[in-house]
Structure 1
Amino acid sequence: MEQEFYRGLSQRVRGMAEKADPFTRRRLLDLAKRYDLKGGAAGRGATERPLPVPRTTPPASSFSESGEA
């Protein structure tokens, strides 16, 4: 029953994504993928998003200089 609920939400969100601007479309499709996973569609081609690349900090030398900003 819960699987059907999430599958229905996924279909509705995908329908809205068809009519949305590119930014909103991408976010709606990501949401639909999450609903697919909750609905048990992991075996039907749903993929997980990769982890973001970790941020790098600037070299310490840029912080050690005193004086002007």
Structure 2
Amino acid sequence: MDEFYSGFAQRARDLAEKADPFTRRRLLDLAQRYELKSRPGSSHRRPSPPPRVTPPAVLFSGSGEA
């Protein structure tokens, strides 16, 4: 997976060489983000979502009438 992101980073840099200034800046930012993802143990990876919590059964007890 690291080579995957590293390859995308290089492609973005290659495209940036031929782009206008606005697009060049965006492509270089994108390349930097891909480069960070390609590093093993990087702290910039997306965090895992928090575990789901089941609501207490008390909320569901009752006859079901409103």
Pair in the same fold by TM > 0.5: yes
Alpha-carbon displacement from aligned partner over 1:6-61 (angstroms, at most 9, x marks no partner): 000000000000000000000000000000000008x9xxxxxxxxxxxxxxxxxx
- Structure 1: 4+ residue segments shifted above 2 A: none
Write out aligned runs for 1:1-69 (5 A): 2-40=1-39
Alignment length (residue pairs): 41
Q: TM-score by structure 2 length? A: 0.59
Give structure 2 stretches of 5+ with no counterpart. 43-66
Q: TM-score by structure 1 length? A: 0.56
Letter in 2 for 1:4: E
**Larger radius of gyration between Structure 1 and Structure 2:** 2
RMSD in angstroms over aligned alpha carbons? 1.7
The percent of aligned pairs where both chains have the same amino acid is 66
Give structure 1 stretches of 5+ with no counterpart. 44-69
Q: SS at the partner of 1:20?
A: coil
